[in-house]
Amino acid sequence: MQDRHIIALDLDGTVLRHGFEGAGDHAAGGIIDPELAEAIRTLHESGHEVIVSTGRSVDATLPIVERLGIRPEWVVTANGAVTLKRDPFGTHGYRREYVEAFNPADALLKIRPQLTTAHFSVELADGAFLYTKAIPAGTLPSNQRQVAFEDLLGVQAARVIVFSPDYRVEEFLTAIESLGLTHVSYAVGTTSWLDIAPDGVTKASALEVLRAKLDIHPSNVFAAGDGRNDIEMLEWAGRVGVSVAMGQAVPEVKAAATDVTASAEDGGLLLALRKRFPELLGA
């Protein structure tokens, strides 16, 4: 395809609306508008590289990809720490092609005294999860084990999750920023939720590896997202391509994008895709 694009799409709050439909857990939950799913399939079938790019774990991502009715070559999970490649012999049709891991001990030991009641979870490089206290239902995959906090120190982690329901979002954000975390990448969600990844690893870093591998010009990049963990991706895409922040995003996310669309609840992603690809989807 001569004018092939990378179309990088966040899931929660971008492809997925709030609400529930699915098979009984977070992995399948969230509403996908049928018109949006059809548009994504059209772009995929036309030869564009549709790449789901999410903070979710592998187990929480692939059911959504399946619901979209596409089998993309690449899927970016864990905020860029784990990139999957389509493989008919892999688990659920994918294998872990690129995995970035780090020792989370320094970050965890800084955070715990500040957030004494926090729930901690570590996604290991092989996809297993270790956790100290339960975090929202369905967030963890089936391969999980409850452990003592000390057991999280010294492991090789693709991602660390810190969830602190006792804090309001503003308090949580202030607490995290005051810690001066170094040698890691991190993003605070719209709830009291922190994702920590290896230093320099973001959705953008994973997508740039794929862009270079696929030999797609930077101007042929489109990305859409709504969270703080999408900021680097939106900045990356928007350098010479197009990046779209969802209407419900906080101001700092909107500032990172070249365009702002309607909220996910109001069909913002479909509007943005139609605007960017009118020849396939109609304006």
Question: Sorting pLDDT into bands at 50, 70 and 90, what band is 22?
Answer: very low
Question: Sorting pLDDT into bands at 50, 70 and 90, what band is 164?
Answer: confident
More confident residue, 187 or 131: 131
Domains observed in the chain: 6-99+201-281 (3.40.50.1000), 105-198 (3.30.1240.10)
Question: Sorting pLDDT into bands at 50, 70 and 90, what band is 20?
Answer: very low
How distant, in Å, are the alpha carbons of 66, 136, 153 from that of 130?
Answer: 26, 14, 11
Residue 25 pLDDT > 60, yes or no? no
Q: 68 Cβ partners below 8 Å, 6+ apart?
A: 15, 32, 37, 40, 41, 52
47: left (phi over 0), alpha (psi -120 to 50) or beta: left
Judging by beta carbons within 10 Å of its beta carbon (0-12, 13-18, 19+), is residue 170 exposed, middle or buried? exposed
- pLDDT of amino acid 188: 80
- pLDDT of amino acid 267: 97
Mean local confidence (pLDDT), 60-83: 95
Task: Looking at mean pLDDT, say which of 109-113, 160-164, 178-182, 241-245 comes out highest.
Answer: 241-245
Strands 259-260 and 242-245: parallel
Which tokens in the block code for residue 274? 């139609």
Question: Sorting pLDDT into bands at 50, 70 and 90, what band is 270?
Answer: very high
pLDDT over 70, % of the chain: 92
Mean local confidence (pLDDT), 232-261: 98
Residue 261 pLDDT > 70, yes or no? yes
CA atoms within 13 A on the CB side of 23: 7
- pLDDT of amino acid 29: 63
Three-class secondary structure of residue 184 per DSSP: strand
Q: 185-202, pLDDT tens digit by residue?
A: 888 876 788 889 999 999
Which tokens in the block code for residue 200? 């320099």
Strand partners, 51: 8
Q: 44-59, pLDDT tens digit by residue?
A: 999 999 999 999 989 8
More confident residue, 30 or 272: 272
Question: Sorting pLDDT into bands at 50, 70 and 90, what band is 141?
Answer: low
